[in-house]
Structure 1
Amino acid sequence: MGLCGDGTVLAAGAGTAGECRVDGWGGVVAVAAGNVHTAPNTGRSHSVGVCADGTVVATGWSGAGQCDVGSWRGVTQVAAGWRRTLGLVGDGTVLAAGRAQDGAGEVGDWREMVGLACGDWHSVGLRADGTAVAVGNNSRGQCAVDRWRGIAAVAAGCLHTVGLTDEGRVLAVGDGSAGACDVGTWRDLVAVSAGSHHTVGVTATGRVVAAGSNDFGQCDVVGWHGIVAVAAGSTHTVGLRADGTAVAAGNNEQGQCDITGWTAIRRPD
């Protein structure tokens, strides 16, 4: 998904469940794309957008109620995972819709939140004081973020969680078997994102670094430059250039990397 400067939204990919039906969206200030935990052709993904008035729109597969966000108000940010949507309210509380198993939607007692991330079976929140909290499946230690301090941003993959510190370093917990947690040497980062089994980050100079599974070339980002933001899908990676255009690497089986014509994409806040 791409959010344009005029509040409209672009989408590329399979669209079999209607997750790319965003042509009529307007006045949008933030977007999130839910992932497909199962085979990529099952049509079980969804897309979510936050409007300038604090309402939320969603399209795509809603078998678990993950698109039941029409009543939400005062939302400033959204995160979308597997069959689940989270919404950050302006007062620092968090709303959840969708799959209730594994406890990933148990965010009703979260307070003073400023950031959110959804993994497949776990959810992560960033507090205003720079600490983090996580709920849900912790089978690989992906929720072990209680000791993190000085965190500026969080991201969640299938079985791992990543935190960007105020100093530009990156922390990671969870499944490291594919190398997605091999980020200890990264420095001067300004943004991070987590795919299912890989992690990507943007440096202060606009370069992109990646670690983890590269089965589809999703980590082939060494040649990218002038990047201001990144987004990692299940097996692909997207980078936003400073001029509002985008570049992609990785699995394009469903057309999810067909973004060469995108322009005027808005940089995330």
Structure 2
Amino acid sequence: MIAIAAGWRFTLGLRSDGTVLAAGRTAEGQCAVESWRGVVAVSCGDWHSVGVRADGTVVGTGNDSRGQCAVDGWRGVVDASAGHLQTMGLRRDGSVLSTVRDSPTAVWSDVLAVAAGSGHTVALRSDGTVVATADLGGVGRDVATWTDIEAVAAGSEFTLGLRSDGTVVGAGVLPG
């Protein structure tokens, strides 16, 4: 395996040959990945899975109740993040795609990474700052003050940021 992703009661594994394995809960079809080929990145949401192919196209499977698997027309994508009822895509040019209608991410630019949580999405910009789609548990307000961030992760109601000095910052309703 060259990459793994974990969702709600299921897991995906990406093989070096671009094929994907799945294990776990299959009730919503999120593990129906056996036909995927040429995949270079995978992500799991609560009830759906997405894969980015080497040619920049995206595939999705599973619960599509809010159109979270409607990624067939996406092009030029380098990474994707599956959340609760949304999927985000990062294009080569630093712009962001979303399956959420009228998403504020349409105006985001110069983005290096995206992370979809349960009720929000965050993006890491090339200047080390972070933006969010919602102020869920204070996430939007708090991440706006972060600087020198190198990586982000979105959880159920929280976001984590990894700073270049190795410290971690958090916002929202943090677990534990």
Deviations 1:232-265 (A, max 9, x none): 000000001111111111102x32xxxxxxxxxx
Residues 16-165 of structure 1: pairs in structure 2 closer than 5 A: 75-165=1-91
State the distance in 2 between where 1:182 and 1:97 align: 34
2:120 maps to a residue whose letter is H
> How far apart, in 1, do the equivalents of 2:165 and 2:114 lie?
20
CA distance in 2, matches of 1:230, 1:87: 21
1:173 — aligned with what?
Answer: 99
Q: How does 1:4-15 map to 2 (within 5 A)?
A: none
Measure how far apart 1:82 and its partner are: 0.5
* Mapped partners of 1:127, 1:116: distance in 2: 9
Residue 215 (1) aligns with residue 120 (2): no
Give the equivalent residue in structure 2 for 1:250.
Answer: 172
Unaligned runs of at least 5 residues, structure 1: 1-74, 256-269
SS, match of residue 217 in structure 1: helix
> Aligned letter for 2:107?
T
Q: How big is the shift at 1:102?
A: 1.0
Give the TM-score of the pair, scaled to structure 1: 0.63
The structural deviation recorded for 1:218 is 2.2
Distance of 1:165 and 1:107 partners within structure 2: 23
* Higher fraction of helix: 2
Instruction: For structure 2, list consecutive stretches of 5 or more residues without a partner in the other structure.
Output: none
CA distance in 1, matches of 2:94, 2:52: 16
1:216 CA displacement = 1.2
Number of aligned residue pairs: give it.
Answer: 175
Q: Distance in 2 between matches of 1:224 and 1:202?
A: 10
What SS class does the counterpart of residue 101 from structure 1 fall into? coil
Instruction: Measure the CA separation in 2 of the matches of 1:103 and 1:82.
Output: 13
- Structure number with larger C-alpha Rg: 1
Matched residue, 1:204: 126
Inter-partner Cα distance in structure 1 for 2:136 and 2:148: 25
1:187 paired to 2:113: no
Q: Which runs of 4+ in 1 moved over 4 A?
A: none
Q: CA RMSD in A?
A: 1.1
Alignment counterpart, residue 231 of structure 1, candidates 139, 148, 153: 153
C-alpha separation in 2, matches of 1:192 and 1:251: 19
One-letter amino acid of the structure 2 residue matched with residue 134 of structure 1: G
Using the aligned pairs only, state the percent identity.
54
Q: What does the per-residue CA deviation read over 1:44-74, in whole Å, with 9 as the maximum and x for residues that have no partner?
A: xxxxxxxxxxxxxxxxxxxxxxxxxxxxxxx
Answer yes or no: is the 8 Å Cα contact 2:119–2:136 preserved in 1.
Answer: no
CA distance in 2, matches of 1:159, 1:125: 16
For the residues of structure 2 that align with 1:96 and 1:209, how far apart are their CA atoms? 32
Measure the CA separation in 2 of the matches of 1:94 and 1:119: 16
**TM-score, L = length of structure 2:** 0.96
